[in-house]
Amino acid sequence: MSYEINPQERFYKCLNREKVDHPPVLAYHFLLPRGKSERELRNAGCVLIMGVPIYEIAFPSEITVEEKKTWKNGEALTIRTYSTPVGSLQEVFKIGPYGSEWKQEHFIKQPQDYQTMTYLLEKAIFREKIADFLQIAQELGEDGVAVPMLPLFERSPFQKLLIDLAGPERTLLDLYDHPKDLEMFINCLCQKMEEAMHIYHSLPEKKLFWWVDNITSDFTSPRLFEQFCLPIYQKYLTPLRKEGITCMLHLDGKLSALKELISKAPIDVVESFTMPEQGGDLELEEAHKVWKDKVIAANIPANLAYRQEKEIAEFFENLMGRRCLKERFVLELSEDLPREHLGKVLSALSKTLSNLQKGGE
* Whether pLDDT at 17 is above 60: yes
* Whether pLDDT at 361 is above 50: no
Helix H segments across 164-258?
167-177, 179-201, 222-224, 230-242
- Rounded to whole angstroms, how far apart are CA atoms 222 and 259? 9
Q: What is the pLDDT of residue 192?
A: 97
- Ramachandran category for residue 334: left, alpha or beta (phi over 0 → left; psi -120 to 50 → alpha): alpha
* Per-residue model confidence as pLDDT tens digits over 108-137: 999 999 999 999 999 999 999 999 999 999
Nearest of 158, 164, 155, 152 to residue 192 by alpha carbon = 152
Burial environment of residue 265 by CB neighbours within 10 A (0 to 12, 13 to 18, 19 or more): buried
- Rounded to whole angstroms, how far apart are CA atoms 224 and 220? 6
Greatest CA separation for the chain: 68
* Whether pLDDT at 9 is above 90: yes
Edge-to-edge order in the sheet of strand 87-95: 64-72, 75-84, 87-95, 101-105
Over its C-alpha atoms, the chain yields an Rg (Å, rounded) of 21
Q: Is there a contact between 103 and 92 (Cβ–Cβ < 8 Å)?
A: yes
* Whether pLDDT at 291 is above 50: yes
* Per-residue model confidence as pLDDT tens digits over 306-326: 999 899 999 999 998 887 788
- Rounded to whole angstroms, how far apart are CA atoms 246 and 266? 10
Q: Is there a contact between 212 and 154 (Cβ–Cβ < 8 Å)?
A: yes
User: What number is the average pLDDT over the span 233-251?
Assistant: 97
Q: How confident is the model at residue 360 (pLDDT cuts 50, 70, 90)?
A: very low
* Per-residue model confidence as pLDDT tens digits over 76-105: 999 999 999 999 999 999 987 767 788 999
Helix (H, G, I), strand (E, B) or coil at 57: strand
* Whether pLDDT at 2 is above 70: no
| pTM, entire model | 0.94
- Rounded to whole angstroms, how far apart are CA atoms 59 and 101? 21
Pick 98 or 295 by higher pLDDT.
295
Alpha carbon separation from 31 to 235, 258, 336 (Å, rounded): 33, 28, 6
Q: Is there a contact between 261 and 293 (Cβ–Cβ < 8 Å)?
A: no
Q: How confident is the model at residue 359 (pLDDT cuts 50, 70, 90)?
A: low
Helix (H, G, I), strand (E, B) or coil at 338: coil
Angle (deg, nearest 10), helices 339-357 and 36-43: 20
Q: Is there a contact between 243 and 279 (Cβ–Cβ < 8 Å)?
A: no
Q: Is there a contact between 129 and 56 (Cβ–Cβ < 8 Å)?
A: yes
* Per-residue model confidence as pLDDT tens digits over 195-213: 999 999 999 999 999 999 9
* Per-residue model confidence as pLDDT tens digits over 323-342: 778 889 999 999 888 888 89
Q: Which residues pair with 329 in a beta bridge?
A: 296
- Rounded to whole angstroms, how far apart are CA atoms 42 and 71? 39
Q: What is the pLDDT of residue 3?
A: 55
